[in-house]
């Protein structure tokens, strides 16, 4: 199976670039300010894999930011799902983010493929994109459309509402976010 992987931040404060047709006056876009009393983060990190076979998105939100242990946890989750579907290999296209090329992630890929060779499962073949070429990753436009689809022009969304809207837009199940403290 071919898949396109990337991470994205969904901001609760910054509005995406929008175009809207209105009848009498322009649509007012509110850029809410950061409130120290707000328990929710200003932005939510999300890992995603765009499946070329079905066009579906596999999403996992993150508590914190994308780092190597979180990347490994996301890859384990994706590979477990694909193994259960009977997929034998995932050719995954992704960029050269520091957490993608880290020793920990490369070691995981190598060890995972060794185990799969012995006992079966879904192999992981990584295809890295050239530096500074996000337009080559098919998942990038999906992120842009998702940000525009869930925006609320007149108010700031809570983190829970934002995640719910994104899961609804991408047609994926809402799962527990991956924690920074992954073992």
Counting the structural domains of the chain, the total is 1
pLDDT reported for residue 154? 72
Please check the confidence at residue 142 and state whether its pLDDT lies above 90.
yes
Prediction pTM value: 0.85
Range of the domain at 46: 2-179
Contact 68, 108 (CB under 8 A): no
Residue 93's SS3 state is strand
Contact 13, 155 (CB under 8 A): no
Q: Which residues contact 149 (CB under 8 A, 6 or more apart)?
A: 165, 169
Please check the confidence at residue 22 and state whether its pLDDT lies above 90.
no
Core vs surface per residue 140-176: b (16+ CB within 10 A) or e: bebbeebbeebbeeeebbebeebbebbbebbeeeeee
Token pair for 41 = 């983060």
**CATH number of domain containing 51:** 3.30.420.10
Which pLDDT band, with edges at 50, 70 and 90, does 155 fall under?
confident
pLDDT reported for residue 19? 53
Q: What phi, psi does 162 have (nearest 5°)?
A: -60, -45
pLDDT tens, position by position, 44-96: 999 999 999 999 999 999 998 899 999 999 999 999 999 999 999 999 999 98
Residue 68's SS3 state is helix
pLDDT reported for residue 14? 63
pLDDT reported for residue 56? 96
pLDDT reported for residue 121? 96
Number of residues written out for the chain = 183
Which pLDDT band, with edges at 50, 70 and 90, does 16 fall under?
low
pLDDT reported for residue 151? 80
């Amino acid at each position: 199976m071919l898949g396109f992987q990337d991470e994205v931040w969904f901001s609760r404060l910054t509005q995406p670039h929008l175009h809207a047709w209105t009848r009498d006056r322009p649509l007012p876009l509110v850029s809410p300010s950061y409130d120290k009393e707000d328990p929710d983060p200003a932005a939510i990190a999300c890992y995603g894999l765009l499946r070329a076979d079905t066009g579906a998105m596999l999403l996992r939100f993150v508590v914190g930011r994308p780092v190597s242990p979180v990347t490994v946890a996301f890859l384990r989750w994706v590979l477990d799902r694909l193994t259960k579907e009977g997929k034998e290999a995932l050719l995954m296209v992704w960029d050269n983010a520091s957490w993608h090329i880290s020793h920990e992630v490369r070691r995981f890929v190598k060890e995972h493929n060794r185990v799969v060779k012995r006992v079966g499962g879904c192999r992981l073949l990584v295809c890295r994109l050239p530096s500074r070429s996000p337009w080559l990753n098919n998942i990038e436009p999906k992120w842009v459309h998702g940000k525009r689809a869930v925006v609320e022009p007149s108010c700031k969304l809570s983190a829970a509402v934002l995640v719910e809207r994104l899961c609804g837009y991408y047609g994926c199940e809402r799962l527990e976010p991956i924690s920074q403290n992954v073992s």
